[in-house]
Amino acid sequence: MPPRVPCYCHATDRQAHMRGWQTADIMELAGHTVLITGGGSGIGRALSGRFAEAGSSVVVCGRRESKLREIETALPGVRTRACDLSTAAARVELVEWVIREFPQLDVLVNNAGVQRRIDLTAPESWEHTHEEIAINFEAQVHLCSLLIPYLRTQQHPAIVNVTSGLAFVPLAAVPVYCATKAAFHSFTLSLRRQLAATPIAVVEVAPPALNTDLGGPGTHTQFMALDEFIEAAMAQLEAGSEEITYGFSEQAAAASGKERAQIFERMNASR
């Protein structure tokens, strides 16, 4: 599928598109210093490889040290750091460390996320629910807040927020995940508008369901191959799109309210 040409309906959108990281700079993925959260597997792991192969310096953080060691072996030169983004203290420590060790940092990729199936009619531990909210939404907002002052000092900075097609139409079996992604999508729109007068580009990546370990190994094997989505996403990124969608997420993002209600019924009819 060819890259989707973005439509800039407002003057501020056109101005944002013409800033630093977009246009010519966004087509050249080399020369950046990129922090990718949740980079141990799935989309984060794939993006780490693409940026590193293009010639950017890549720093990956994740909770599983075994996965981080695998990345260091597979992608020599990529730096990693174990970090639990569910806590504010860990996020502050991560930012202090990455700025100290990588002063050229100019791209933040907010990718970390967890997905849990929840029966809302049955009581469950609030700690688990809060952890999902903290990792999927609270951490991203906090990292943006911590890093925006620093990113503004860089020449071609960007924030890349990984949301989901489920931000537009939820899957009822994973209600907290869908709600956090909807909130993150909304936050990203506001963030882009508020940063329009700064050099920081804001890009949203909204994947469809993919064959990754999100939600647990083996739970998504029937969905789209990760490589197919990454190919399409990188093509759109290099073309300068600020909202990257593909497959289901492209359909859901473009759907009317009535169409989204119909999609919701089809998605959840047998669940």
DSSP assignment of 15-28: HHHHSTTTTHHHH-
Q: Report pLDDT digits (tens) over 54-104.
A: 999 999 999 888 889 999 998 889 999 999 999 999 999 999 999 999 999
Write out the two tokens for 154: 């860089």
Write out the two tokens for 70: 């695998």
pLDDT at 219: 57
Question: Coil, helix or strand for 81?
Answer: strand
pLDDT at 9: 36
Please give the CATH number for the structural domain made up of 11-268.
3.40.50.720
Domain ranges of the chain: 11-268
Measured CA to CA, the distance from residue 53 to residue 139 in angstroms comes to: 27
pLDDT at 149: 98
**Residue 125: burial class (beta carbons within 10 Å; 0-12, 13-18, 19+):** exposed
Measured CA to CA, the distance from residue 79 to residue 191 in angstroms comes to: 28
Catalytic residues: 177
**Which amino acid is present at 142?**
H
255 and 214 Cβ atoms separated by less than 8 Å: no
Distant-in-sequence contacts of 78-83, Cβ < 8 A, 24+ apart: 78/48, 78/52, 80/39, 83/37
In the sheet where 201-206 sits, what is the strand order?
Answer: 79-82, 57-62, 33-37, 107-110, 158-162, 201-206, 243-245
R_g of the chain, CA atoms, integer Å: 18
Residues in the chain, pLDDT under 70: 1-28, 211-223, 271
Measured CA to CA, the distance from residue 143 to residue 73 in angstroms comes to: 27
pTM comes to 0.86
Could you give the residue ranges of the DSSP H alpha helices within the chain?
11-18, 24-27, 42-54, 65-74, 88-101, 126-133, 139-151, 175-194, 226-239, 248-254, 257-268
pLDDT at 16: 40
Task: Give backbone dihedrals phi and psi of 240, rounded to 5 degrees, phi first.
Answer: 95, 15
- Spell out the residues 6+ positions from residue 210 whose beta carbon is closer than 8 angstroms to its own: 42, 43, 220, 223, 224, 225, 226, 229
162 and 114 Cβ atoms separated by less than 8 Å: no
